[in-house]
Amino acid sequence: MYLHGGGGHTVTDKLPFAKHVAPAENATTINKSEVRASQSFILRSLSLRQNSDQHEMIKAITRLGLGQQLGLAAGLLCLLTSLSLVIVSAISSRHMQQQQMQEYGAALANQIARRITTTLETGDLLNVAASLQRFVETSSAERVAIFDLEGRSLGQAGDTRDKHVHEYSAPVRIDNDTAGEVVIALNVDQTRAAQRQFVLSLAGLTALLSLGIYAVARHMGQRTGKQLQAMAEHINLQNPPLLNQTSQPANEVLLLKSHIDELPMELLRTRQSGDTREEHYQQVSILFVQLDSLANYVDTLDQTSLQRYTRRLHQVVAGAAGFYGGQLQVTRQFGISVFFSGINKAGSQAFRAASCGWLVKELCQELGQQQRLSMKVSLAVASSETGMGDDNDIYPGLYIQHVLDELQTLCAKHPQGLLLHQQVCTDPGVVGKITVNTTVDNTYTQLDGFIEPYNDLLERQLRLVWKRLTTT
C-alpha cells in the first residue's frame, strides 16, 4: 500500500517534506522566545522609567523651601486623616438611612396589608385595586402590588420606571392564615441625593481645613526657614555673598548644609596633643603647711636633731593626711603641700583638706607643749581647677604654682593660723559643717572649728595619731 502513490512516487519521495517541517516548528519556538524577551525588556524599561520618575519627584520635593515642605506635609496628612473620617461618616450615615428605610417600608407594607384584608376576604378585586391606587396617591410608595400564595398578581398600582426603588413586603393574613403578600416600592433617589450632599459637604470642609493647615504650617516653616537662612549667611565665608543666587539651593536646610560643608573644619577643630592627660584638669584642694619653726632651727640644730625634728613633722602631716587620702609633696623650701583629689568616702575634697589642716594644727600645738622644740606652723587651704600632674611631667605641678605662691604669701602674712578660701567655705561638702571666725584679705576666712558630729570624729582621729606618735 505504501510502495506506490497516485503519482507513482514512493514514500522516500515524501521524506524531504518531513525535513522541512522541523525548521518551521523551530522558527515558531524562536518567535515565542523573542516575544517573551521583548515583553520582559518592555516591563523592565517601564519599571526603570517609573523608578526614575519617582526619584526625580522626590528630588524636586527636597529642593523646595522649608515652608513649602512643612505645608505640603501637614496639608496632605490633614487631608488623608479628614478623608478617612469622611468615609467612615458616609458609611455610618448610609447604614443608618438603610435601617430607617427598612423600618419605614415594613411599616407601610403592614399598613396596606391590614387595610385590604377585609376586601380581599370578600374576593372583590376591583375594590382591592382601588384601595391600592388610593394608597399610592396618599403615601410615599411609588408602586404597590398584591400577590397570592402561588405568586400570581391580584392587583397593583403605581409605576417605577426611571426611578431607583427598594422593595419591602408584608404578609396578608385572614383569620391567622396567610392569604398572600403585599410588596411596596419606595423611591430612594432623594435619600441618595441627601447622602451625596452630606458627603460633598464633608469633603468641602475637609478641603478647607487642609488648606488652613497648609497655610499655618507654611507660615511656621517660612519663619523657621528665615532663621536657618540667617544662620547660613552668618557662617558664609563669601562676604558679601555671591551675586548669582540661582546656584544656591532654595531649601534652607540644604543651604545651611552647603555653607557648613564650605567651612575649613580642620582649622576650626581643637587640636589636642596626644600627651595631654586628665590629671592637669581635675579639681583639687590644696592644704599648704608653712613650717615656721623649721626655718629658725635649720641653722641652730645639729644634723641628727634636725633629722629627728623633720621626721616628727613628716609623721604629723602624713598621719593627718592618711585619714583623708591626701598626697604629700614638698613644694617650697619650708612648705609642704597636701593635695586632695578624686572621690573619697571621707567627704568632698575641700572638707578633707580643712579637716586635715585642723588635725595638723592641733597635733603641732600638742607636740610643741610636750617637747623642748616648738612646732609652729601656718596653714591655708584653697582649691584649684587644674591638677597637680604626675612624675611623667617635665615640670610637675606647673599648673598650680600660682596657687601655691598665693598660699605661701598668705601664711607669711598671717602666721600660726588656718585660713580657708571662700571657694572652700562655700563648697557643698563644707557648708554646715564648720564654724569660721574673721575674714582675711576679703577672700580667706579663719577656721574656728567643726560642729558635731564632725568635731567628735576629729577628736578621735587626733587621739589615734597622738597615740601613734608617742609610742614611736
C-alpha cell of residue 172: 396578608
Q: Identity (one letter) of the amino acid at 120?
A: L
**Is 248 or 167 the better-scoring residue by pLDDT?**
167
pLDDT tens, residue by residue, 166-212: 888 888 888 777 878 889 888 888 888 888 898 999 999 999 999 99
**Whether residue 18 has pLDDT greater than 60:** no
**Is 119 or 245 the better-scoring residue by pLDDT?**
119
At 237 the pLDDT is 64
pLDDT tens, residue by residue, 284-327: 899 999 988 888 888 888 888 888 888 988 999 998 998 898 88
Query: Helices in 183-291 by DSSP H: which ranges?
Result: 189-234, 252-262, 265-268
**Is 51 or 340 the better-scoring residue by pLDDT?**
340
Residues 344 and 453: their CA atoms lie apart, in Å, by 18
DSSP string, 118-187: HHHHHT-HHHHHHHHHHHHHHSSEEEEEEE-TTS-EEEEEE--TT--EEEEEEEEEETTEEEEEEEEEEE
pLDDT tens, residue by residue, 136-149: 888 888 888 888 88
At 397 the pLDDT is 66
**Whether residue 155 has pLDDT greater than 70:** yes
Rounded percentage of the chain residues whose pLDDT exceeds 70? 79
- The closest alpha carbon to 116, from 181, 209, 195, 42, belongs to 181
**Whether residue 10 has pLDDT greater than 60:** no
Burial of 137 (0-12, 13-18, 19+ CB in 10 A): exposed
C-alpha cell of residue 450: 567643726
Q: What is the mean pLDDT of the chain?
A: 79
Q: Which residues are CB-neighbours of 325 under 8 A, at least 6 positions away?
A: 340, 342, 344, 346, 352
- The closest alpha carbon to 433, from 352, 341, 323, belongs to 352
C-beta neighbour count of 383 within 10 angstroms: 20
Radius of gyration of the chain measured on its C-alpha atoms: 53
**Could you say which DSSP state residue 270 is in?**
P
**Whether residue 26 has pLDDT greater than 80:** no
Average pLDDT over residues 48-67: 72
Burial of 195 (0-12, 13-18, 19+ CB in 10 A): middle
Burial of 472 (0-12, 13-18, 19+ CB in 10 A): exposed
**Whether residue 16 has pLDDT greater than 50:** no
**Is 233 or 275 the better-scoring residue by pLDDT?**
233
pTM of whole model > 0.75? no
